[in-house]
């Protein structure tokens, strides 16, 4: 009889009464061909074990009497052997009592390509062969997962806020009608754009291979953020009598061209780098000219969330550009195509432009309106300048950045 590398004692347990719960994990810990010794005082096991081994494709090597028990020897077979190494001794570090997703990613890094046949198995699990191929289409790390995505997810989890209780709604006081109407119009425009940022990432989540689950998890935090933004902007529109304003055909055409995107990198670029990037400046403008502190606060909070979404987009694009030299041409094409569809749509919707002017004027006095008008013109300039800076940071040349920013000009989002 060969030597066993593991021994277990099953006492009187019958095969159908718990013995397998000891035997199967013990065999699982062995290499193929490794030998297990099983001590058993159950007489029926003498017949049951060889039969079970035959069905499970393990090799039953025989049995010898030891004191008042049987010592069965079994060599581990390779049937249905899960692929990969079992995780041994993996212990995530505590950081101020917290466990971080970034530490999981650091421990089990993203593979360059993912196997569609591993299905929904969490990364790190050993996968039995024989499962079906899943229809994921985002199976390449460099087209899906920027290196800092898990850190962004951890930050997003820590930064969630509550639109019911974190805004001092009771502090909103009556405003002149024209100003409140302008606030209502701006909140309508913001909410409509937020809806595009809810819908566009959501259509990619189910295409992402679970090997890059942190990307889906991060995008889910974005969906929660955008939901909260829609909620908080619609609440502000209706909190003080302003009510909703107009949804313009220009905005609709602009957002439609975003929603039609089918490439994840193009979507991350157009939505998060150009659109949400430009939105940072719009939100800053509304915050700076907000008529009351709760309005400034809710816009400031939304901007903090948007900064994270922009960071994800920039990181995604920078990483993809560095690994795919043909990407710039594709992205420029996507921006050109979008600009062409908006050729006749005109620039910023009139109602939005007027409302931003009234907001910056703090009312409708002609002197204030003149100032508001100048501030609006300055906003467009600031948006362009910051867009170029962001594009350079995302890995484009200054010339490319200038071209892309000019093409984006008719859109805010």
> Applying CB under 5 A, which residues contact Fe ion?
194, 197, 226, 229, 276, 306, 309
CB of 155 to Fe ion, least distance (A): 14
Distance of alpha carbon 402 from alpha carbon 385, whole angstroms: 9
Measured between alpha carbons, how far is 346 from 177 in angstroms, rounded to an integer? 28
Q: Which is nearer to Fe ion, 194 or 354 (CB)?
A: 194
Q: Which is nearer to Fe ion, 177 or 203 (CB)?
A: 203
Q: Provide, rounded to whole angstroms, the least separation between the CB of residue 279 and Fe ion.
A: 7
- Residue appearing with tokens 């909140």: 187
Q: Find the shortest distance in angstroms from Cβ 311 to Fe ion.
A: 11
Minimum CB–partner distance for residue 228 and Fe ion (Å): 8
Question: 379, 403, 409: which is closest to 391 by C-alpha?
Answer: 403
**Per the structure block, which two tokens stand in for 198?**
């809810």
Q: CB-wise, 19 or 163, nearer to Fe ion? A: 163
Minimum distance from CB of 17 to Fe ion (Å)? 57
Which two structure tokens, joined as six digits, stand for 170?
């009771």
Q: Round to whole Å and give the CA distance between 405 and 386.
A: 9
* Residue 34 to residue 5: CA distance in whole angstroms: 7
CA separation, residue 125 to residues 106, 134, 218, 394 (Å): 16, 17, 21, 34
Please state the closest distance from residue 274 (CB atom) to Fe ion, in A: 12
Helix (H, G, I), strand (E, B) or coil at 346: coil
Q: What angle do CA 266, 269, 274 make, to 5 degrees?
A: 135
For the bound state, the minimum distance from the C-beta of residue 208 to Fe ion, rounded and expressed in Å, comes to 18
Nearest in space to 187 (alpha carbons), one of 151, 150, 232: 232
Look up tokens 């990198």; give the residue. Answer: 265
Query: How far, in Å, CA of 400 to CA of 405, rounded?
Result: 9
Q: How far is the CB of 340 from Fe ion (least distance, A)?
A: 25
Q: Which is nearer to Fe ion, 180 or 306 (CB)?
A: 306
In whole angstroms, give the CA distance from residue 365 to residue 285. 20
Closer to Fe ion by Cβ: residue 180 or 194: 194
Taking the CA atoms of 288, 306, 190 and 301 in sequence, report the sign of the dihedral they define: negative
**Is residue 223 within 8 Å of 312, Cβ to Cβ?**
no
Beta bridge partners of 37: 7, 73
Q: 197 vs 379, which CB is nearer to Fe ion?
A: 197
Cβ nearer to Fe ion, comparing 172 with 191? 191
Between 154 and 276, name the residue whose CB sits nearer to Fe ion: 276
DSSP, collapsed to helix, strand or coil, labels residue 65 as strand
Least Å distance, CB 186 to Fe ion, is 14
């Amino acid at each position: 009889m060969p030597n066993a590398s593991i021994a277990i004692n099953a006492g009187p347990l019958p095969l159908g009464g718990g013995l397998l719960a000891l035997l199967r994990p013990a065999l699982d810990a062995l290499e193929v061909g490794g030998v297990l010794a099983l001590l058993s005082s159950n007489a029926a096991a003498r017949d049951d074990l060889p039969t079970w081994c035959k069905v499970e494709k393990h090799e039953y090597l025989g049995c010898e009497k030891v004191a008042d028990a049987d010592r069965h020897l079994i060599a581990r077979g390779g049937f249905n052997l899960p692929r990969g190494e079992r995780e041994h001794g993996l212990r995530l570090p505590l950081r101020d009592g917290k466990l971080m997703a970034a530490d999981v990613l650091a421990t089990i890094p993203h593979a360059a390509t993912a196997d569609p046949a591993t299905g929904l198995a969490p990364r790190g699990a050993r996968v039995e062969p024989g499962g079906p191929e899943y229809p994921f289409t985002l199976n390449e790390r460099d087209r899906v997962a920027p290196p800092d995505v898990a850190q962004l997810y951890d930050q997003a989890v820590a930064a969630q806020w509550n639109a019911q209780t974190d805004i001092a709604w009771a502090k909103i006081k009556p405003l002149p009608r024209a100003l409140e109407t302008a606030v209502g119009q701006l909140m309508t425009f913001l909410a409509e754009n937020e809806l595009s940022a809810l819908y566009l990432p959501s259509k990619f989540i189910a295409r992402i291979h679970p090997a890059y689950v942190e990307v889906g998890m991060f995008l889910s935090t974005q969906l929660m953020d955008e939901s909260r933004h829609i909620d908080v902007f619609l609440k502000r529109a209706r909190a003080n009598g302003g009510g909703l304003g107009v949804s313009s055909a220009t905005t609709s055409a602009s957002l439609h061209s975003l929603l039609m995107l089918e490439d994840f990198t193009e979507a991350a670029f157009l939505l998060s780098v150009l659109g949400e990037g430009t939105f940072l400046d719009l939100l800053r403008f509304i915050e700076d000219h907000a008529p009351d502190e709760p309005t400034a606060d809710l816009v400031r909070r939304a901007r903090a969330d948007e900064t994270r979404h922009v960071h994800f987009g920039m990181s995604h694009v920078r990483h993809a550009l560095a690994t795919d030299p043909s990407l710039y041409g594709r992205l420029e094409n996507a921006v050109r195509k979008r600009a062409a569809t908006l050729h006749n749509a005109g620039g910023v919707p009139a109602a939005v432009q007027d409302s931003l002017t009234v907001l910056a004027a703090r009312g409708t006095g002609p002197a204030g309106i003149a100032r508001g008008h100048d501030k609006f013109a300055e906003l467009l300039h600031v948006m362009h300048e910051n867009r170029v800076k962001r594009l350079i940071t995302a890995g484009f040349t200054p010339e490319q950045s200038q071209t892309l920013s000019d093409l984006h000009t008719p859109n805010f989002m």
